A and B are shown apart, each in its own frame.
Chain A
Amino acid sequence: MGWLGETVDSVKSIQIRQLLTQAISLVCCLIGMIVTSSLIIWKALICVTGSESPVVVVLSESMEPGFQRGDILFLHMSKDPIRAGEIVVFNIDGRDIPIVHRVIKVHERKNTGEVDVLTKGDNNPGDDRLLYAKGQLWLHRHHIMGRAVGFLPYVGWVTIIMTEKPIIKYILIGALGLLVISSRD
């Protein structure tokens, strides 16, 4: 009887140890490898493209039919002056969602090289003065985060779905966790 109790105890302790090992490896795998490597890739992209957000997802229909909702845009920021016709991504003071529109007017100062820029979405009837901060008539260089140089259609829907229906995000992370646990066996 005592010997049976001993065996049961040792079996239980092995299981607890295995459980702990799996839990720690899960945490290490998820947070350690996946998140860190994503962060490394993201930071590298920021360095290479020179822009604070090298990839953006198109959220509105203001640039249709060229950019549809759910496309992703690759951005690049260089020291080249901003010229009419370029598609730029900019932030308005007080708003946190960047806007992707085309430059339609440029006034560049002679002495300082500073520039006044007006933008408009291709599919919008009027220019973006309605979107700018109150009293702001022009965009300046420091508002602009990058120029759009290339794009991939449809790939951005993953981000849109995860933002608008967070339950999918949790399901995805849960499934990822399950995959990691099951692969340890």
Chain B
Amino acid sequence: MHSFGYRANALLTFSVTALAFICAIASLSDNFSNQNPSAEIQILNINRFKKQSYENDEVSLTLDISADLESLFTWNTKQVFAFVAAEYETPKNSLNQVSLWDAIIPDKEHAKFRIQTSNKYRFIDQGHNLRGKEFNLTLHWHVMPKTGKMFADKIVMPGYSLPDAYK
């Protein structure tokens, strides 16, 4: 009853259970944090808007993105992954989401930022539907915890549009 094997087994079981319990509590505490992030995006310039040689539209733009994501960070947050996507509808597709830019925010100090950048990933349509197209720009964030459940949400900013003619 008091052999080394039994004691080691009991210790291992107890420590694993205690660790699992602590992880669960840590994850649960994320539900109680008050989150109110804010963001604003402006399109500074449409750099290029053309039809690729094999029939898809492509546009390149410069964005001015400012956001305050400080309230998303809790003690259980490892990083916040933020990205900006363009969402629009076409005759063939009910929804198109194209990620234009993303960043990993490692801590609270970097969570309030403003950058001007051209799109990191190519904005290519399936077809040539982009002339005069109205679209939303959404800032998504994905909170990755040190342990437990991950949260994601977004801010939708409607009202952007592309020019009517190729450039």
Contacts and interface: CB of A to CB of B under 8 A. Distances in A.
Given A65-B78, A150-B148, A104 B96 contact: no
A116 B126 contact: yes
Nearest to A105: B98
B60 to A, nearest CB: 16
Determine the main DSSP class of B at the interface with A: strand
B50 interface: no
Nearest to B8: A179
A67 B146 CA distance: 10
Contacts of B81: 66, 85, 102, 122
Given A65-B78, A104-B99, A182-B5, A153 B85 contact: no
Contact of A149 (B94, B106, B149): B149
A69 to B, nearest CB: 15
A108 B5 contact: no
Given A104-B99, A116-B126, A149-B149, A110 B78 contact: no
Contact of A105 (B9, B27, B94, B97): B97
A149 B150 contact: yes
Interface string B56-98: 0000000000000000000000110101010000011111111
Nearest to A112: B94
B77 to A, nearest CB: 11
B147 A151 contact: yes
B41 interface: no
Nearest to B123: A105
B161 to A, nearest CB: 20
B43 interface: no
Given A150-B150, A151-B150, A179-B5, A66 B96 contact: no
Interface of A: 65-67, 81, 83-87, 102, 104-110, 113, 116, 120, 122, 127, 148-153, 179, 182-183
Interface of B: 5, 9, 23, 27, 78-79, 81, 83, 85, 91-99, 102, 104, 106, 121, 126, 140, 142, 144-150, 152, 154
